[in-house]
């Protein structure tokens, strides 16, 4: 039977991998990223641990996870995407069980260490590295569609987890999530993820440089550094703002309206990513990124200066429109501007730099809020970072 190699065809095998990556992202973000707020509340309630101790575990998870993420490209190259996805899912399942059964602080940190491996094997670097083996011309659309699973994990996964915790308790609910991963996701990956198409991965006469060499050259390259630093600053601001959004809005417009604003932000992240996915491969992506950063800066100005519930919800929706694209765009700019043999290593490096940086966002915003007595100063700071990022991303260097 003739294998379809046209990426625009609905029969192309790569679209099956997009569906798998969507569900991998659902579990990865649901348990790894959004789940952290659930763990904080449940562990505090169960053991009376201070929020600072549990939050420090979250920061450890992000920092250790960034270290692991940096080597995702090598793992995929050495073991193949199927084995790496399965390993990531199994680590995620083990982390869920460990988190649900944590009785001492050291057990929480052990669970967060396991979760870091699970996150590395199910989140951005893993998904972009996997999809790059199947897609070239439609890579932007493929990554954008797959990463809607990240939003799905927040919109559907977390509420399901909260309902399960309310019904059967934290330990059993986390174990049930682990069972779902092992019973549903692992067989799905084993069955659906085969060998990548030869035409995208055929060996060429020129040998690929080593991963160490690629990283060393990238960290001296203005074009690469402008991508890494711009998105690190923008994501620092984005994550810091989102984590504190409910706390900021609650006294201004009430808990119910604050929840609507957060829902609007999350929903617009999906809308923005889907709409963007239809044109993302044709756009000039650096200016598109700059506009995304500036749109969030404008939203922050409105949020700081308004007390009207409708205006604040609209501003959160405007902010949310670019949330998903800030995660997708770095890999697309790297793909367009650098040698394809370097793609996996470079996007893993960008992801690691971003994750180290944004892990401090919520803490710094919280410290500035406590020091100044309001959210105006930290949100102005976030706005300034977005404007700086918009200028930085327009700096291009020579090609690697």
pLDDT of residue 312: 92
In the block, which residue shows the tokens 């800030």? 326
How far is residue 155 from each of residues 162, 243, 259, 265, measured CA to CA in Å?
Answer: 12, 15, 12, 11
**8 token code pair:** 């625009």
Give the model confidence (pLDDT) of 165-224 as tens digits: 889 999 999 999 999 999 999 999 999 888 887 655 544 434 567 778 888 888 888 888
Looking at per-residue pLDDT, the higher value among 140 and 99 belongs to 99
What are the tokens at 233?
Answer: 């600053």
Give pLDDT, residue 223: 87
**Domain 211-392 -> CATH class:** mainly alpha
- What value does the CA radius of gyration of the chain take, rounded to a whole number of Å? 21
pLDDT at 398: 52
Q: What is the pLDDT of residues 316-366, one digit of tens each?
A: 999 999 888 888 888 888 888 888 778 888 988 888 899 889 888 888 888
Per-residue pLDDT reduced to its tens digit, 277-315:
777 777 788 999 999 999 999 999 999 998 898 999 999
Q: Given its phi and psi angles, is residue 333 left (phi above 0), alpha (psi -120 to 50 degrees) or beta?
A: alpha
Is there a common fold for 14-198 and 211-392?
Answer: yes
Least confident interval from 45-49, 63-67, 312-316: 45-49
Give yes or no for residue 2 having a pLDDT over 50.
no
Summary mean pLDDT of the chain: 86
Instruction: Say if residue 362 is exposed, middle or buried (CB neighbours under 10 Å; 0-12, 13-18, 19+).
Output: buried
Structure tokens at 105: 């602080």
Assign domain 14-198 to its CATH architecture: Up-down Bundle (1.20)
Please name the residues in contact with 272: beta carbons below 8 A apart, sequence gap of 6 or more: 320, 321, 322, 323, 324, 325
The whole-angstrom separation of Cα 87 and Cα 113 is 14
Query: Residue 205: what pLDDT?
Result: 39
* Every domain of the chain and the residues it spans: 14-198, 211-392
């Amino acid at each position: 039977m003739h294998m379809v190699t046209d990426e625009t065809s609905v029969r192309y095998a790569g679209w099956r991998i997009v569906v798998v990556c969507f569900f991998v992202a659902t579990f990865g973000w649901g348990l790894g990223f959004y789940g952290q707020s659930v763990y904080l509340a449940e562990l505090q309630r169960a053991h009376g641990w201070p929020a600072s101790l549990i939050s420090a575990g979250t920061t450890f998870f992000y920092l250790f996870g960034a270290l692991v993420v940096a080597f995702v490209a090598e793992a995929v190259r050495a073991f193949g995407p199927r084995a790496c996805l399965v390993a990531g899912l199994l680590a995620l399942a083990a982390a869920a069980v460990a988190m649900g059964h944590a009785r001492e602080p050291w057990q929480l940190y052990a669970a967060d260490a396991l979760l870091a491996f699970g996150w590395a094997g199910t989140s951005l670097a893993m998904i972009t590295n996997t999809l790059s083996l199947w897609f070239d011309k439609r890579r932007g659309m493929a990554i954008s569609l797959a990463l809607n699973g990240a939003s799905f994990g927040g919109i559907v996964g977390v509420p399901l987890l909260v309902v399960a915790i309310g019904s059967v308790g934290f330990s059993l609910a986390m174990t049930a999530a682990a069972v779902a991963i092992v019973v549903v996701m692992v067989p799905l990956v084993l069955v659906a993820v085969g060998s990548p198409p030869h035409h995208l991965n055929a060996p060429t006469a020129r040998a690929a440089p080593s991963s160490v060499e690629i990283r060393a050259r990238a960290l001296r390259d203005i074009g690469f550094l402008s991508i890494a630093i711009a998105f690190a600053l923008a994501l620092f601001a984005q994550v810091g703002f989102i984590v504190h959004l409910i706390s900021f809005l609650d006294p201004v417009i009430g808990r119910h309206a604050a929840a609507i604003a957060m829902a609007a932000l999350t929903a617009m992240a999906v809308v923005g990513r889907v709409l963007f996915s239809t044109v993302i491969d044709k756009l000039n992506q650096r200016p598109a990124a700059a506009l995304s950063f500036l749109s969030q800066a404008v939203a922050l100005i409105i949020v700081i200066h308004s007390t009207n519930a409708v205006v604040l919800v609209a501003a959160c929706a405007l902010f949310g429109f670019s949330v998903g694209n800030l995660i997708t765009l770095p890999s697309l700019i790297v793909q367009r501007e650098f040698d394809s043999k370097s793609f996996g290593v470079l996007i893993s490096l960008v992801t690691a730099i971003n994750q180290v940086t944004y892990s401090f966002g919520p803490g710094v915003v919280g410290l500035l809020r406590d020091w100044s007595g309001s959210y105006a100063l930290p949100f102005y700071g976030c706005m300034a970072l977005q404007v700086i990022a918009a200028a930085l991303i327009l700096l291009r260097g020579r090609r690697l």
